[in-house]
Amino acid sequence: MFKNEKDYDIFISFKSKDKDGKSTEDALIARDLYDQFVAEGYEVFMSDVSLKDRINAEYEPIIYNALQTSEVFILVGTSKENVYSPWVRNEWSRFINIINTSGGRLNPSFFIPVYKNMSPYEMPRINNRNVQCVDASDLLYKKNISDYIKHLISPTYSHEKDLTKEELARIKIQEEAKIKAEERAQIRK
């Protein structure tokens, strides 16, 4: 969207520090998710990493670009206080607004609240079918989120954003033809 900024697949929102300046549990969960998604090939926005070498004046355009280009928004929360803190609330409310007002957007957007030590009903609600809450106290939560995201978007999606609709349709037809040919070869065996 912005010439000097890259597009993202996933935006991770979380409260980084508590009132004493210590890292929150939210930040630990967010970092685990970030590391996993980067390893899977996704372009991931996480403020602690994506804004690390930037000056404060550059934050807003970078965050805006990340919100506009991300297909998946993950909100990490271990308390209602953290989820509704000013910066976190600003991010998720803006993304929800993008979902609700982006009728012309080429690709759908997905909002995934990840909670721990709180009720999923304390997480923000949106009038959208693309919501899936995940309990981070579940031992398989990272795998469940990863599987869900793989179902929604592919890790190579960020590279496909530069292709036209016609090129994407042609690639899809070629992939379907390849699958059918493989199925026919299996039947012959």
Q: Is the pTM of this model over 0.85?
A: no
Would you say residue 186 has pLDDT above 90? no
Would you say residue 107 has pLDDT above 80? no
pLDDT band per the 50, 70, 90 thresholds, residue 23: very high
- C-alpha 9/C-alpha 156 separation (Å) is 9
Q: What angle do CA 118, 124, 130 make, to 5 degrees?
A: 110
- Contact, 100 vs 111, CB < 8 A? no
Would you say residue 34 has pLDDT above 90? yes
- C-alpha 136/C-alpha 171 separation (Å) is 36
